[in-house]
Amino acid sequence: MTDASSNTPRLTTSIIEPDPRTRRRNASERRFRAYGLAAIGTGIAALIFLVISIVSNGYTAFLQTYITIPVELSEQRLDPQGNRDPEEMARVTTFGYAPVLAMALQSHLIEQGIPMDGVNPRDLMAMISQEAPAQVRNLVLANPEIVGQTLDMEMLASGRIDGYFKGRVTLESAERDSNVSPAQLALAAAMAEAGLMDTRFNWAFITGPDASGQRPEAAGLGVAILGSLYMMIVVLALALPIGVAASIYLEEFAPKNRFTDIIEVNISNLAAVPSIVFGILGLAIFINFAGLPQSAPIVGGLVLTLMTLPTIIIATRASLRAVPPSIRDAALGLGASKMQSVFHHVLPLAMPGILTGTIIGLAQALGETAPLLLIGMVAFVREFPDAPPEGLFDPTSALPVQVFSWTQRADPAFVERASGATIVLLVFLVSMNLLAVMLRRRFERRW
Amino acid sequence: MNDMTTIERAVTTSEKKIDAKGVNVHYADTHAIKNVDVEIDDKTVTAFIGPSGCGKSTFLRCLNRMNDTIDICRVTGDILLDDEDIYHPKVDPVQLRAKVGMVFQKPNPFPKSIYDNVAYGPRIHGLAQNKADLDDIVEKSLRRAALWNEVKDRLDKPGTGLSGGQQQRLCIARAVATSPEVLLMDEPCSALDPIATAQVENLIDDLRSRFSVVIVTHSMAQASRISQKTAFFHLGELIEFGDTTQIFTNPVDPRTESYITGRIG
Amino acid sequence: MPLIWIIAIVLALGAVGYMLGRQRAMASAGGDIRRLHSLPVYYGTNVFLFSVVPALLVLCVWLMVQPSVIQSRVTEMIPESAATSAGELSLIMTDVRRVADGLDRAVGQGALTADEANNLRAEETNIRESLGAIGVALGSDVTPEVLSAAQRYRSLSSAGNLAMASAIIALSALGFAYAYLRTTRDFRARNTVEKAIMAILILASSIAVLTTVGIVLSMILETADFFELYDWRQFFFGTEWIPSFEGGSELGLLPLLWGTLYITIVALVVSVPVGLFAAIYLAEYAGPKTRSIAKPLIEVLAGIPTIVYGLFALITVGPMLRDYFAEPMGFGTSSSSVMTAGLVMGIMLIPFVSSLSDDIINAVPQSLRDGSYGLGATHSETIRQVILPAALPGIVGAILLAASRAIGETMIVVMGAGAAARLSLNPFEAMTTVTVKIVGQLTGDTDFSSPEALVAFALGLTLFVLTLGLNVLALYIVRKYREQYE
């Protein structure tokens, strides 16, 4: 009975015939493997679903419906004095321009023989964006000589009409909508038929400033993109040198003592501090204590710099560490000082890795939203900032914050705008990450 | 009935357990094993000797298809276990390895208790009907590995807490607990001190009564002490294979003689 | 003088210094580079550093200090009758600054001469209207006190700016002269420059520490203010969150903490199994080809900004959960809910769990796998019974890090969870979190002396302590785990 095989009954000894237990075990093996595949599939499916959801909601933001009609710029209304002095003409507000447009539209429709069944003049005017009178006014004030002429004018259609051509607004939904009636939509369809209305690419969405809550059709990302760009400039100008300097010290020179230990622990913990806490820091230190202006890219840039530093430091240290000690020894052996060996030999070799880390850090900073909310970047800003450096202190918005503030507005057309802004943000991020990947591929070196 | 046939089979094939013919192993572009023929007898200790990198460990790992876990490794030729081709597409390597156990160069106890280490194999193969059965297997295996007296009071302590020699004996107990028919040992003593080595060597001699043991070793003294058959590998080729006494006293091939007398290796 | 000019002048001085320093060193060696102690570059750099670094450092400090000095000098001018509370005072000071800015702008546009701006009388001119004409909107009419304070503010600022410009340029010139005169053949320029560079390097590394100190100090000071206005027991143990800016708010932490934890739990329930199984598949089963495609795809999820997840929650996941689960099953009609935020956050955390676990599983030594296969275990048995137990501490660390991420996450909950503070178990109901309330209390026009605004700092400190604790614990566990196999 001491024989091991006697108390271990095996049903079969052949290795080609699987016994029932092995079959069960192999089935459980396949199940386990399937769970793994399902997990991967879940992750990738979530990614695809997210991208599809954003793109399908947002691509229409890049299209816009315009109304093109001849408008008589009546002198009597727009330049009552008749002297073409822009200062005097500026007294006529946008409220003075609206009837001009309304009349032009009405008379042109009659001329073209397009019936306006069930659309009163008020409703007719509501089909043109509230932004249109302001646009015409700006045009007239810039070129006073055009007053008195009849010109083909291109005007934004209102948000609901625009939505109709993009499929967001339907005849059924118009029944329940106090802002638009089915008759208006029918008229819009007739106008499109007659070539008075068309939907085409919307450059103003990328270059134009934001617009108020009643005119989603005019809202653009220009100020936000510029604000984000300014912040990235600040982050790059501060985080890269500081991060590289700190990494060089910690990796190459720092003695092993309490002070460097504290710095090390600090950096790894800073990397995991919630971003909103950096917003609190920015509000308390930069705005309330140092008195820097709210909503300014300089404050945003400083906050994002502090957030990006750990990323850059970690990447830089990794690439410094990847440079083999033999390079340092070779330089030292030729009589170079430690400092010379680092700056002349190690740093240039580590540069591609540092740049890759910096780009990834910048991409993170570009998408960061929460801290910017606290330093006032949600404010409604229509004015473009000046050129840097003064412009760094002007109020602006930022791309991700613009997404957020658009989601907070009531008009459903802003959902499309917010998704469109997200697409722009993602395009920037993808290009930055591709750049980082390309840099890494191009300069990848195995020692 | 089944038990009867098992025993019958064991008797009829007691002479030849494993028969390898024309085995070639490639790692990507490297030809690691070149056309090796070996017969391994039941209830004997067969030693594979040779200089480092000669392919003896690679060949050993072919015998229970451990090389399957390496993607770039390709094995050709026939290896028969009890007249069944172990590289037959229908063969389940899991079932094969239950019959051909393995002990590795470095002791590798799982990060579990001593008891769980030994019970791991019986549990996954379903060798015990109940807890008492399992306790029995664990105790017998530990006794067989000459470890029982040292650990019987701390079976629930982690296996990683034992000394190197104890860890290796634990790994042997773990392999024995699955009641394999062949036990492969890949330089089991290379990480051990001389006292632990002596213990393990005694153990191997003891195990011979129940299994066929194949051991890869660096030490010729060890091979001559514990094995009945010896195979000498050099640069991926099997140079000489025969009775241990014959290989060590009267080698046929000049390369074997050079190695044994210490001129190559 | 605009700031940019001061900086430009200092840099120009430095550049000239670099060239002159080099030349002087070469001249002192008679043009023979071998007789110099250091390379000529170092003599130039030495002069450059001495002219630029002290000047710019003082400039930074000056810029920090000047506004608060001017502020306190101007504040003295506001009569106590006008400002009865700290909040009112800060509002008046905002007006003062805005009027001062407006006057600056008016002068800049030529609408006013500098003299006129200094001699304006609130009694005579309607400042609000005239500033409004050049595009500076004021909230109310300008009182004489505010106007004179604004004028004082302007004169102090301009005096301060002038003093700053002259002091900085003088300092720069002084550093220039000092370093230039020291430049001789035997001057150990390289050692000096290297010491200076070392100082800069050390300074750069201490910024991390300064940031932490800044975070902790700013939050602790404001939190202390908050606890003077509001009882700390009510904050930590209060179960009601009803802020009202008229006073008498209930600011209890518990409902916010509950919302945070509930959402975190949902997020972990989603991300841990998916992330862990994905990591197991990638590390153990996937061939190099599958791995090279699937791993980056999953990690893309980590690179997507949280605002995008927030939008996803708001416009897609929230309405979907409401229409297909909550409403048919009678759980509620809200599209923002714990489930929405938790689900989306779970997706965000998948790559976080999977890449950390992937690293940890790969760190389990191959010898353990071999040992298990050698006993005839299947792949999944090896994973479940050997690899996962061995990797457990590391995986626990990864989960803790993910939890800390979830607790500190802001945008997803702001857009997906709702704003109602509630102690409820229904996951389809809107609840709110600590981070949502920080954003809520600190955006818009805020009076920083009211408990309703200050509570945000107490919330921030709570959040900081919570996430820091989790991180330290997680990093400790992971490090212990790494040591075990090194």
Question: Residue A359: its pLDDT value, please?
Answer: 93
Cα separation, C188 vs A396, in Å, equals 49
Taking CB atoms and an 8 Å cutoff, what residues of chain C touch B125? 376
Instruction: Tell the residue number behind the tokens 């509002």, with chain if given.
Output: C91
Over the stretch C19-69, which tens digit does the pLDDT of each residue have?
A: 998 888 888 888 787 888 888 888 888 899 889 988 988 988 888 788 778
A249 Cβ under 8 Å from any chain C Cβ: yes
- State whether C250 and C181 are in the same domain: no
Question: The CATH number of the domain where B103 resides is what?
Answer: 3.40.50.300
The average pLDDT across A241-251 equals: 93
Find the length of chain A: 447
In A, minimum Cα distance to B89 occurs at A16
Tell me the CATH number at C414: 1.10.3720.10
Among A8, A11, A15, the residue with its CB nearest the CB of B96 is A15
Nearest to C376 among B71, B112, B178 (CB): B178
Mean pLDDT of the region A264-276: 88
Q: Taking residues C161-173, what's their average pLDDT? A: 90
**Measured between CB atoms, which of C288, C368, C378 is closest to B108?**
C368
CB contact under 8 A, C215 and A43: no
Looking at the fold, whether C98 and C167 belong to one and the same domain comes out as: yes
Q: Give the best residue of A32, A221, A406 to mutate against chain C (max C CB count within 10 A).
A: A32
Q: How far is B255 from chain C (nearest CA, A)?
A: 33
Per-range mean pLDDT, top range of A254-258, C19-23, C340-344: C340-344
- Do C306 and C368 fall within a single domain? yes
* Of C187, C215, C230, the domain-final residue: C187
Question: Checking DSSP bridges between strand B182-186 and strand A197-201, what pairing results, if any?
Answer: unpaired
The structural architecture, per CATH, of the domain A222-443 is: Orthogonal Bundle (1.10)
Distance, in Å, from the CA atom of C11 to the CA atom of C18, rounded to the nearest integer, reads 10
- How many angstroms away from the CA of C181 is the closest CA of chain A? 25
Please tell me which of the candidates C315, C379, C414 has its beta carbon nearest to residue A415. C315
The pLDDT assigned to A138 comes to 86
pLDDT for position C64: 74
Give the structural domain span for B53.
Answer: 23-260
Two structure tokens written together for A424: 């722009």
Between positions 352 and 381 of A, the ones with CB within 8 A of C are 363, 366-370, 373-374, 376, 378
Question: Is pLDDT at C171 greater than 80 in this prediction?
Answer: yes
The pLDDT of C431-450, averaged and rounded, is 85
The answer to whether the CB atoms of B92 and A26 lie below 8 A apart is yes
Note whether C338 and C318 are within 8 A (CB): no
- Model confidence band, residue C84 (pLDDT cutoffs 50, 70, 90): low
pLDDT score of C107: 77
pLDDT band of A80, cuts 50, 70, 90: confident
Q: Do C131 and C262 sit in the same domain of this protein?
A: no
Q: Per the domain annotation, does B11 fall within a domain? A: no
Output phi, psi for A196, to 5 deg: -85, -20
| Domains contained in chain C, number | 2
Is the domain of C461 the same as that of C393? Answer: yes
**Inter-chain contacts counted by CB atoms under 8 A, chains B and C:** 73
CB contacts < 8 A (A, C): 264
Per-residue pLDDT in tens (0 to 9) along chain B, 265 residues: 444 444 443 344 447 889 999 999 998 888 888 999 999 998 899 999 988 888 888 899 999 888 887 878 888 889 998 888 888 888 888 888 988 999 998 899 998 899 999 999 999 988 888 999 999 999 999 998 888 999 999 999 988 889 888 999 999 999 999 888 899 999 888 888 888 888 889 888 888 888 899 999 988 889 999 999 999 998 889 999 999 999 998 898 998 888 888 776 5
The ipTM assigned to this model is 0.91
Average pLDDT over residues C279-306: 92
Q: In what order do the strands lie in the sheet with B73-81?
A: B30-41, B16-27, B73-81, B84-85
User: How close is the nearest chain A Cα to the Cα of B126, in Å?
Assistant: 8
| C30 lies in the same domain as C120 | yes
| Cβ-defined contact of A38 to C464 (cutoff 8 Å) | no
Using CA atoms, how far apart are residues A259 and C209, in angstroms rounded to an integer? 10
A45 touches chain C (CB under 8 A): no
Q: Chain C residue with minimal CA distance to A365?
A: C305
- CA C359 to chain B, closest CA, distance in angstroms equals 19
CB-based contact, B175 to chain C, within 8 Å: yes
Determine the pLDDT at residue C137: 63
> What's the pLDDT at C1?
56
The residue of B95, B118, B127, B144 whose CB has the most chain A CBs within 10 angstroms, and thus the best one to mutate to test that interface, is B95
Task: Enumerate the H helices of chain B as residue ranges.
Answer: 2-12, 56-62, 93-99, 114-125, 131-144, 148-151, 164-177, 194-207, 220-226, 244-249, 254-260
A310-333 pLDDT, tens digit per residue, is: 999 999 999 999 888 888 888 888
Q: Cα–Cα–Cα angle for C275, C277, C278, nearest 5°? A: 60
A12-31 pLDDT, tens digit each:
567 777 788 888 999 999 99
Please give the mean pLDDT across all residues of chain A.
87
C-chain CB neighbours of B121 within 8 Å are 375-377
What pLDDT score was predicted for residue A82?
77
B103 chain-C contacts, CB cut-off 8 A: 374
Report pLDDT for A178. 83
Per-residue pLDDT, A135: 85
* Domain membership of residue C65 as a residue range: 3-187
Q: Do B101 and C378 touch (CB under 8 A)?
A: no
Instruction: Please tell me whether residues C420 and C279 are part of one structural domain.
Output: yes
Burial A139-149 (b: 16+ CB within 10 A, else e): ebeeeeeebee
Note the pLDDT tens digit of each residue in C392-440. 888 999 999 999 999 999 999 999 998 888 888 888 989 999 999 999 8
Query: Is residue C153 domain-shared with residue C276, that is, in the same domain?
Result: no
Domain boundary among C147, C169, C187: C187
Give the separation between CA B179 and CA C178, rounded to whole angstroms.
87
Tell me, yes or no, whether C223 lies in a domain. no
Which of C141, C166, C187 is where one domain is finished?
C187
Tell me if B166 is assigned to some domain: yes
Residues C263 and C182 in one domain: no
